[in-house]
Amino acid sequence: WERKKQAHSTGSSILSALQDLFSITWLNRSKVEKQLQMISVLQWVLSFLVLGVACSAILMYTFCTDCWLIAVLYFTWLAFDWNTPQKGGRRSQWVRNWAVWRYFRDYFPIQLVKTHNLVTTRNYIFGYHPHGIMGLGAFCNFSTEATEVSKKFPGIRPYLATLAGNFRMPVLREYLMSGGICPVNRDTIDYLLSKNGSGNAIIIVVGGAAESLSSMPGKNAVTLRNRKGFVKLALRHGADLVPTYSFGENEVYKQVIFEEGSWGRWVQKKFQKYIGFAPCIFHGRGLFSSDTWGLVPYSKPITTVVGEPITIPKLEHPTQQDIDLYHAMYMEALVKLFDKHKTKFGLPETEVLEVN
């Protein structure tokens, strides 16, 4: 009996030890995954902010070393390849399916909500709102396969449009093109909507730099009332307009908001006018502690809802009346999309989308 009792006690101790071991392993794994998620987000943030400038400086320095031939070969190839971004670039399904993007997705987390099917015989312009500081939801949903955009919209090729200046930066341009990112200029959009077949979806962050200046947690506002260029492009090519709203995009960073008329806002507007982007003073959390400031965004959920497409006729020379009509239809559809889904993602029924 004593032996049986000791064996039972020993077995219980071993079982308890194993349970403790698995508990510790799971805990450590959870911590490791969280760190991997933060690193995956940070690498994209740093790529977005400094990769182009850093690679330009490194290549220029290489000219002064024994490895100067590498720089010469790259810049020679760059000259021949200069117009590739304007033709849709070189997307890589391998890059779009990197595991790092799944860690990126899970950090916030980010999800893509489909409300209607898109037919592959049409082309589309998605209006993405709001810009936020970096448009993290737009990048994850449409430039990677982390949220399975290709499965949710089979036969549709998404092209996220961003500042053309990014494609003048060595190495950064290759990184962007691999994800299906293209310049947001008329030549590129004309090419994709007229010479690239059907099933193309160009995602334009309509509010741009101006909208990013008002990005702050708790605020749902879009810069849209006087943004009509994307509607004109849609009419010229007969591309359907798809309102898209990203709940939580403004929650992931905090920024210093300069009042109208202040020196800070004056500087931001000058940058916006002459360079195309507006410098923001923003912060997220630190890499190792949420109590410190850093470049890692706060882990707040981002849910991108893709609305119902608005059928657009093809008008080679649309009048201002035509543009105004479909612009008004688009604004109405965006507000309806926001109102229909706002309570599902933590907003009160009384929340109103501010359209500026």
- 25-80 pLDDT, tens per residue? 545 777 888 889 999 999 999 998 899 899 999 999 998 899 899 999 999 999 99
Under DSSP, the state recorded for 274 is H
- The whole-number average pLDDT for the span 210-233 is 92
Does residue 1 form part of some domain? no
Please state the domain count of the chain. 1
Assess if residue 56 is contained within a domain.
no
**How confident is residue 15, by pLDDT bands cut at 50, 70 and 90?**
low
**Helix locations, the chain, DSSP H:** 2-46, 52-62, 68-80, 93-96, 99-107, 136-142, 149-152, 172-178, 186-194, 208-212, 229-237, 263-274, 320-341
Q: What is the pLDDT of residue 105?
A: 97
Cα(188)–Cα(98) distance, integer angstroms: 26
The verdict on residue 114 lying in a domain is yes
Query: In a 10 Å sphere around its CB, with 0-12 CB exposed, 13-18 middle and 19+ buried, how is residue 319 labelled?
Result: exposed
Q: How confident is the model at residue 213 (pLDDT cuts 50, 70, 90)?
A: confident
Residue 202 in domain: yes
Q: Is the pLDDT of residue 209 over 50?
A: yes
Band the pLDDT of 257: cuts 50, 70, 90. confident
Count the Cβ atoms, other than its own, within 10 Å of residue 94: 8
Distances (CA, A) of 136 to 104, 105, 116, 235, 344: 10, 10, 23, 28, 20
The pLDDT score that the predictor gives to residue 21 is: 45
The helix-helix angle for 68-80 and 52-62 (nearest 10°) equals 130
- Looking at residue 272, what is its pLDDT? 77
Q: Collect all residues with Cβ–Cβ distance below 8 Å to 263 and sequence separation of at least 6.
A: none
CB contact at 8 A, 71 and 117: no
Cβ neighbours, 10 Å, residue 188: 22
Task: Kindly state whether residue 150 falls inside one of the protein's structural domains.
Answer: yes
Going by pLDDT thresholds of 50, 70 and 90, the confidence category of residue 238 is very high
DSSP lists the bridge partners of residue 222 as: 355
- Indicate whether 47 belongs to any domain: no
In this prediction, residues 277-303 reach a mean pLDDT of 88
Q: Is the pLDDT at 11 greater than 50, yes or no?
A: no
Residue 20 has pLDDT above 80, yes or no: no
Q: Mean pLDDT score of the chain, rounded to an integer?
A: 89
* Residues forming a β-bridge with 128: 205, 244
What DSSP state is assigned to residue 250? G
DSSP, residue by residue, 57-73: HHHHHHTTSTTHHHHHH
Residue 226 has pLDDT above 60, yes or no: yes
Q: Which two tokens stand for residue 72?
A: 């010469």
Q: 208 in the Ramachandran plot: left (φ > 0), alpha (ψ -120 to 50) or beta?
A: left
pLDDT (0 to 100) of residue 23: 52
Query: Cα 158 to chain center, whole Å?
Result: 12
Beta bridge partners of 114: 306
Q: Is residue 13 part of a domain?
A: no
pLDDT at 242 over 60: yes
Distance of alpha carbon 146 from alpha carbon 44, whole angstroms: 14
Q: Is residue 145 a part of any domain in this protein?
A: yes
Which of 107 and 28 is assigned the larger pLDDT?
Answer: 107
Task: Please tell me which residue, 258 or 4, carries the higher pLDDT value.
Answer: 258
The domain of 154 spans 61-355
